[in-house]
Amino acid sequence: DVDSLMWARLGNHFAAAAGALPTDLGLVPLHPVTGAELESYADFDLDAFFRSVRAETAHTMDQRITAMVEFAQAWRPDLVVHDILYLDAVVPAKVLGVPAVCHLTGPIGTRETEWGLDFIPRHYSREYERHGVAERGTDLITHVVDICPASMAPATGATRLDVRPVPYNGPGAMPTIALRSGDRPRVGVLWSNTMPMLYGARSFIVPTVVEALADLDVDVVLTMNAEAGRKLGPLPKNITLLDHCPVHTLLPTCDALFHNGGAGATMTAIVAGVPQVFATFGAEYRANARRVAATGAGLVLDGAGVEADSIRRSVLGLLADPSYAKHADVLRAEA
């Protein structure tokens, strides 16, 4: 299959070449294939790369759709479900004459106008024409499964199928620390492993978060992989590090969540009724954060320029003001 992280980095290069890359996002030029940081976007020959991978990518897409159609014809499903990044699944649905439904994963919809939020693929396999599928883009999406609360409904022109979100953040048992003791507020901290792969080394701001929360009268539970955790060195007494804790088991015991704004963590916090502080990099994460903050259930910081003092003030402000918890509970009830 194609490498989604590579194509995300490549998208920034295309936008930079077209002069359409927003400067306020503070994006760092990364090599599309390796993820290594570059001095500038001009240091990568975009045209040569695209010429070299065009044929290989086209072959992969053709092969994938052919296999899906053959499988669908053998198995005869009554319904095809796909996500917003993967419209090829509509082709076997059209061939069989059965409905296809796009399952959204958070606040980003199928009819977004802001830069960086239009995730619908722009490159289509020749298999579309071969199987008689003339539609493209949003025309391929007629129904969406929407897991967001009504006040955060994603933009779409498709028929909306509202469902209750059921969080799942990976396997694992509820950690002992989830059995909370004491009266101090608890702050969960979650940071995605993919951030440096998309936004460079500076997006690993966890040391700054640790500095910000170290001397506060709060209990902090930080969950991330063990390798990244080792970069932090000895932690303050009020911070506990968990290796890949399933967040849905932990958040119901938290009074606040600090994270980068990924859809999974955002929706898990909404279901738990936990107010959120976001430090965002990139358009998608910023949009998720803004849409929660617009309901009164969170605060947004710019990850690229964030400092320990602003993190500290935001977390303390959110814990001290009961309106954030109140609005988070409204979102939970809607969900």
Q: 18, exposed or middle or buried, with CB in 10 Å at 0-12, 13-18, 19+?
A: exposed
Beta strand pairing status for 186-190 and 159-162? unpaired
Q: How far is the C-alpha of 31 from the C-alpha of 13, rounded, in Å? A: 9
Q: 81, exposed or middle or buried, with CB in 10 Å at 0-12, 13-18, 19+?
A: middle
| Span 298-332, pLDDT tens digits | 999 999 889 999 999 999 999 999 999 999 999 99
Local structure of residue 173 (DSSP, 8 states): P
| Backbone CA torsion sign across 137, 141, 142, 148 | negative
pLDDT at 56: 77
What would the mean pLDDT of 120-138 be, rounded to a whole number? 90
Q: Which of 40-49, 177-186, 244-253 has the highest mean pLDDT?
A: 40-49
Decide: 184 and 217 in contact? Cβ < 8 Å: yes
| Span 71-113, pLDDT tens digits | 999 999 999 999 998 899 999 999 999 999 999 999 999 999 9
| Span 176-201, pLDDT tens digits | 777 777 789 999 999 988 899 999 99
Query: Average model confidence (pLDDT) for the chain?
Result: 92
Tokens of 179: 């059995």
**C-alpha 104: how far from its chain's center?**
11
Tokens of 48: 């040569």
Tokens of 239: 């911070």
Within 13 Å and on the Cβ side, how many CA atoms surround 228?
21
Q: How far is the C-alpha of 77 from the C-alpha of 98, rounded, in Å? A: 8
